[in-house]
Structure 1
Amino acid sequence: MYKPTHFNGLTRIISALLISITSFSSALKQPSYLPHHNATRSFWLYPPSTNPLGEAGSTGELTSSADVCIIGSGITGIGAAWHLTNQLVSQSVETKKKIAVLDAREFCSGATGRNGGHLTPTLFYAFRDRERAYGTDEAQRSYRIEQHTANSLLDFIRTNNLESEVDLFEGGHLSVFRTAEEAAGAKADWEATRKAGVDMGGADGDGGVRWFGIEDLVENYGFNPELNYTAAWFSGHNLWPCKVVTKLFEDAQKQASADVVLHTKTPVTTISKLDDERSGLHTPRGEIACEYVIHATNAYAGHLLPFLRGQTPDIDYTVGQIPLSLRPRGAFGIVPTRGQVGAVRASVDAQALKWNNSWDGGAGWEYWFPRYQDVESHAGRRPLIILGGGRQHSGGNLEQEVTDDSVLNERVDKALKSLLPRFFPQQFKHEDAEQAWEMQWTGIMGFTNTGEPFVGPVKTLAQSPNLSAKNPYEGQYIAAGFTGHGMTRAFACAEVVAGMIIAKIRGEEWAAPEWLPRRYLTWATAP
């Protein structure tokens, strides 16, 4: 989870000016990168039967032309395909369109299929910071987009009776506070969110939030009393991400408005302009010509959009008022950042575990939730816990600028394996702690300096050299940079870029949805 830091305004501006040259230089030195082909085995993608589209379209004839090409087959890319097909119908676009989805690896093998599992909107976290930085209306949209995303996915799942097929589970969520200051800050954010009129859901619009002391955590969840932590409970879901994305793709293919094709193991190496209206996507298997391109590659966006490469300066722009014109070019980069996740069995049965909700570890950055689905079908099997995070123990650069998800970080491994026994000493008391871990893997997230994604038409950055009047990326769109918080934002951001393309096709002006934070759209422009 993204955690803001605090600098005074003068320090921010001076720091931004001092690092602008070094950030630009660093960006130029970054190598081109694509996903590794021998990634660690993810629980969500194994066995292969869990990912029936894994190698779909990887052999045979390559599509030669399409109306829209989508690069990336995670929740963003497939979400864009789904929204396009549905909006083509609702907007009465008469001509059937061709949509091609390409992925460098297997289907849904990026962050969605490796780091996901939660579908829990942030209700109030950091509201006061966002309100100070952007104003009340814009701060409200930060939370409304997450609610819109979750509701849209839940509607799709429930309308199509897919709850069992995608392992949808509503157990609530507990956010742990390790200090009194953390707890007080969270409560102040919650109260400020209510005062601003944000409907967080729940019977009274307050999100149904319940505040728990250490006594509650010990009695109800078997928490370690020596830690003396507190927590806040609110509604939340978890699910199997790849299965949801698979169902979205299958549904998109059923729509009569478009012919949707998938090509996995087909990396796009370069994009060139063929003429004023079409771009050419070059792959090892050949070229695809298309009118519109959607970059849904998240951490790997810099491969095809080099100006988005480079280290993000260690400075926070979420709070404060630095004009875009004073921000270093590197402030707009998307930084690959490796996350680590594992699957571990509890040492007790489901009844003794005492909890079925998801958790996050407050300042510790960890998150976890139980899966009871296979317990119900296998007598005597103990609940499986999906646990991720721990980058703060990685050493060095918090796993930033790391694109290798074929290996584990040993320091993170050690930190993850010690967390649950420390939090729940009676529920993770294994004779052989190593044996309790059934799987561990890594995945690459895309981080931005604000913690927020880049959405909309691709443009040359205002601060980049050789800026010409004509946009060389005309017809290309992006939704990327979700900073480890994509499940409750990516699907809605895909809806935005799909709507922009439909408006272009119809020759109409696009109107921003009321729930969309406007700052997501201004990443490549100056005031």
Structure 2
Amino acid sequence: MSAAAKPAPLLAGGKAFPVPRGMSLSHWLQGVRANPLLDKRTTETLPASADVVIIGSGLTGTLTAYELLTRPDPPKNVVVLEARELCSGATGRNAGHCKPDQYRGFAKYSKLFGKEQAKKLLAHEWETWEKLVAFVQREKVDCDLWVGDTLDVAMTDEAAAKNLAVYEDYKAYGGKVDHITYTSVAVEAEKVSRLKGAKAVWAWKASTLYPWKLVAHLMRICLAKGLNLQTWTPATSVTSSDGGHWAVNTARGSITTPTVVYATNAYTSGLIPSWASYIQPTAHMCNKVVPPRAFAGARALRNSYAVLADDGTFTINQRCTSDGTLLFGGDNPNQHWLKAYLAQDESGMRLFDDSLSDFEPVTQAVRDLATQSLEGWDEDIDSPGVGPVYAWSGIIGQSADGLPFIGPLPDHPGQWVAAGFHGHGMPHIFTCAPGLVTLMQGGTWADTGLPECLELTKERLAKIGETPDFNKPIV
């Protein structure tokens, strides 16, 4: 693609939302550099009009398009606009974990939305995971799917006690826990987890996968059904047009449409400036680690992880069905150094700059966990190509109340939002995007089957008010 085709900045309330000059390439984006979908434009010029314009080509935007085009009476013209490469936002930058929270978020969600909604949320995450796995298996999607036991491993007595209290509270309220195995004997916890010093382990089913390839599979189906994909085409604004329609404006022209879907996650306020009070972007790091001999071959890790410490949580995608690398994400104990770095920039531009790579304090926390807790890790750690070999940044769409917003944009008929996944999108999107399409087709919220606390309403926005709290932990 020529230099002239590179995108112009997005605008957010008078501030630029620049596309970084050299975005970092995640593990997923590195592995598909020759894929023609990366920079695909179905037509050389933008269509003047469309029945639906979806802004964003991650899992939310692409699955929304898929649902629209595969249900009865599909729209004739659907356009997906992507600011950069296909699926180069949050979906293409995560650690590849689809882990439905099955107890740990109960305390946080109960405080915010009440225990009944918290219980519904955990059931919703399990349903989402089941639907994602069923789709991948049924459609034989080539996306490195792994299904097996994910482990929550408490590494301190305090973390063990804290999480056990939440688990017991959820169980006492009637939460489903018969599919969870709990181990509190330290010797057994160490054996199950292979982590020295482990105090307790909770285990249940979850998955890891190659999320970009799942999106690509969905996108190919959509393209075969007539979808128009336009990469490297950032929307700069959405304005009113004739006949009650909307104009989606880009540097390459405008598209008139009655229906706009914001699948923009962290970048939503770039197009709806008032939403800076509801969704905030923030950079986050993931690390790619090549394991030494003690954790390779027959001795490779066979579980995915959330490693729970007093000062943070690691997640680990072990990729044991594919290349065997370990991908570390989550709320790493040294992410606070990254947050401090971001805060030093008074303009706020760093919050959505995903060109950052190899942020040393975060990488050091990964090294510390591996060397201190994984038996035998140090035996050949100095060998070339072993250990942390690369880290990349992604932009989390932090929600002001910790949950995504799904539904119509108030006072903007024909505009719809599915955004603000708070670093936990994979266990939401495979039901939230279909739910959004149900609403777009005239269904009620009850028809979506989604928990009520996910619905985008004026009342929910008013409750958040003028002083949002974006510091809620990622589950």
Structure 2 length-normalised TM: 0.84
Q: Which residue of 2 aligns with 1:45?
A: 29
Q: Distance in 2 between matches of 1:509 and 1:424?
A: 50
**1:120 lines up with 2:99 in the alignment:** yes
Q: Distance in 2 between matches of 1:176 and 1:141?
A: 24
Q: Distance in 2 between matches of 1:396 and 1:42?
A: 20
For the Cα contact (< 8 Å) 2:435–2:449, is it kept in 1? Answer: no
**1:107 lines up with 2:92 in the alignment:** no
Q: Which residue of 2 aligns with 1:385?
A: 326
* SS of residue paired to 1:300: helix
Q: Which residue of 2 aligns with 1:343?
A: 288
* SS of residue paired to 2:392: strand
Could you tell me which of 372, 379, 382 is aligned with 1:432? 382
Cα distance change on mapping 1:277 and 1:491 into 2, 3 Å: farther
Q: Which residue of 2 aligns with 1:474?
A: 413
For the Cα contact (< 8 Å) 1:171–1:236, is it kept in 2? Answer: yes
For the Cα contact (< 8 Å) 2:125–2:427, is it kept in 1? Answer: yes
* SS of residue paired to 1:489: helix
Q: Which residue of 2 aligns with 1:140?
A: 119
Q: Which residue of 2 aligns with 1:316?
A: none
Cα distance change on mapping 1:450 and 1:421 into 2, 3 Å: same
For the Cα contact (< 8 Å) 1:41–1:440, is it kept in 2? Answer: no
Q: How many angstroms does 1:195 deviate by?
A: 3.4
* SS of residue paired to 1:442: strand
**1:243 lines up with 2:182 in the alignment:** no
Cα distance change on mapping 1:84 and 1:395 into 2, 3 Å: closer
**1:452 lines up with 2:452 in the alignment:** no
> What amino acid sits opposite 1:513 in the alignment?
T
Cα distance change on mapping 1:334 and 1:134 into 2, 3 Å: closer
Q: How many angstroms does 1:135 deviate by?
A: 3.2
For the Cα contact (< 8 Å) 1:339–1:399, is it kept in 2? Answer: no
Q: Distance in 2 between matches of 1:416 and 1:30?
A: 38
Q: How many angstroms does 1:498 deviate by?
A: 1.2
Cα distance change on mapping 1:429 and 1:275 into 2, 3 Å: farther
Unaligned runs of 5+ in 1: 1-27, 201-205, 310-329, 376-382, 460-470
> What amino acid sits opposite 1:239 in the alignment?
L
Q: In percent, how many aligned pairs have the same letter? A: 30
Q: In the TM superposition, what whole-angstrom CA distance separates every residue of 1:356-386 from its partner, at most 9, and x where no partner exists? A: 11111224222112123445xxxxxxx3111
Q: How many angstroms does 1:107 deviate by?
A: 0.2
Cα distance change on mapping 1:295 and 1:435 into 2, 3 Å: same
For the Cα contact (< 8 Å) 2:106–2:115, is it kept in 1? Answer: no
Cα distance change on mapping 1:428 and 1:284 into 2, 3 Å: farther
**1:191 lines up with 2:128 in the alignment:** no
Q: Which residue of 1 aligns with 2:259?
A: 292
Alignment of 1:101-500 (within 5 A): 101-162=80-141, 165-199=142-176, 206-224=178-196, 227-255=197-225, 259-309=226-276, 330=277, 333-348=278-293, 350-351=296-297, 353=299, 355-363=301-309, 364-374=312-322, 383-389=324-330, 390=332, 391-397=334-340, 399=342, 402-408=351-357, 409-432=359-382, 435-436=385-386, 437-459=388-410, 471=411, 473-500=412-439
Q: Which residue of 2 aligns with 1:380?
A: none
Cα distance change on mapping 1:404 and 1:428 into 2, 3 Å: farther
Aligned length: 439
Q: Distance in 2 between matches of 1:97 and 1:29?
A: 33
Cα distance change on mapping 1:60 and 1:81 into 2, 3 Å: same
Q: Distance in 1 between matches of 2:258 and 2:380?
A: 57
For the Cα contact (< 8 Å) 2:113–2:453, is it kept in 1? Answer: no
Cα distance change on mapping 1:251 and 1:396 into 2, 3 Å: closer
Could you tell me which of 52, 64, 72 is aligned with 1:80? 64
Question: Higher strand fraction: Structure 1 or Structure 2?
Answer: 2
Cα distance change on mapping 1:415 and 1:280 into 2, 3 Å: same
* SS of residue paired to 2:242: coil
Cα distance change on mapping 1:407 and 1:183 into 2, 3 Å: same
For the Cα contact (< 8 Å) 2:289–2:325, is it kept in 1? Answer: yes
Cα distance change on mapping 1:488 and 1:394 into 2, 3 Å: same
Q: How many angstroms does 1:134 deviate by?
A: 2.9
> What amino acid sits opposite 1:336 in the alignment?
P
Q: Which residue of 2 aligns with 1:515?
A: 450
Q: In the TM superposition, what whole-angstrom CA distance separates every residue of 1:319-348 from its partner, at most 9, and x where no partner exists? A: xxxxxxxxxxx3xx2111111112111111
For the Cα contact (< 8 Å) 2:39–2:232, is it kept in 1? Answer: yes
> What amino acid sits opposite 1:218 in the alignment?
E
Q: How many angstroms does 1:43 deviate by?
A: 0.9
Q: In the TM superposition, what whole-angstrom CA distance separates every residue of 1:80-104 from its partner, at most 9, and x where no partner exists? A: 11122233x1xxx3x7421111110
Q: Distance in 1 between matches of 2:59 and 2:35?
A: 14
